[in-house]
Amino acid sequence: MRVLFVVLMMFSGIPLAVGQGHFEVEVDPIAYIFKGYSFHAGYQTGHFRFNAGTFAITQPDFFTSDDRYTIRNGGFGIKADYIFRKSKGLFVGLQSDYGNDKVRFDQTEEAKEHSGINLGLRTGYRFMFGKKEKEYRGLYLVPWVALIYTPDSPTLQFSHGPYDFGSWLVFPTVHLGYRF
């Protein structure tokens, strides 16, 4: 219930003038490289941008704390950002995701799952390739990084010992999008 309250507070008091904004779609190409997917739909009005999406990825070994495991994450989430220069440039925001983590110990194929909500602070930079006079309609690129907190971060018990997720994660990525 606390998470729902936080999400509702993210969106309270922010104008959603549909006639004055722009719809956007974007993907995370890195997710596709690592046997996953990513699709997000967004809406921007003024300096505020809102986004909802779905994602999955098989974590690369260099990104996990123990390369004896294969980890697959998937889920859906929402984001709210404030863009300092209205359409492009630096932004800061909040995100909340509901995800499912599947962890497999590769030597024995033993697998465990965990589902839950995480919250994050994010920042990045929007490179808009469209023309200013056309309100930057067209392609854009967004490198960003999030500091993600998992309130109920588990320690999964395997037959050979525990796997600890940790409560905090730094998540860097790049999104490629199109503004209508």
State residue 5's pLDDT score.
46
User: Which residues, in sequence order, are CB contacts of 14 under 8 Å at separation 6+?
Assistant: 48, 80
Count: domains in the chain: 1
Q: What is the CATH number of the domain that holds 11?
A: 2.40.160.20
Mean pLDDT for the chain?
90
Angstrom distance (rounded) from CA 59 to CA 35: 9
Over pLDDT 70: what percentage of the chain? 89
| Confidence grade of residue 64 (pLDDT, cut at 50, 70, 90) | confident
Give the bridge partners for 11, in sequence order.
none
Question: Rounded to two decimals, what is the model's pTM?
Answer: 0.84
Per-residue pLDDT, 19: 60
Provide the domain limits for residue 154: 2-179
Kindly state the tokens that stand for 55.
């994602």
Contacts with 65 (C-beta within 8 Å, 6 or more apart), sequence order: 164, 166
Pairwise CA distance, residues 116 & 30, whole Å: 23
pLDDT in tens, 149-174: 999 888 999 999 999 988 999 999 99
Q: Which residue has the higher pLDDT, 18 or 22?
A: 22
Answer yes or no: are the C-beta atoms of 26 and 142 closer than 8 Å: yes
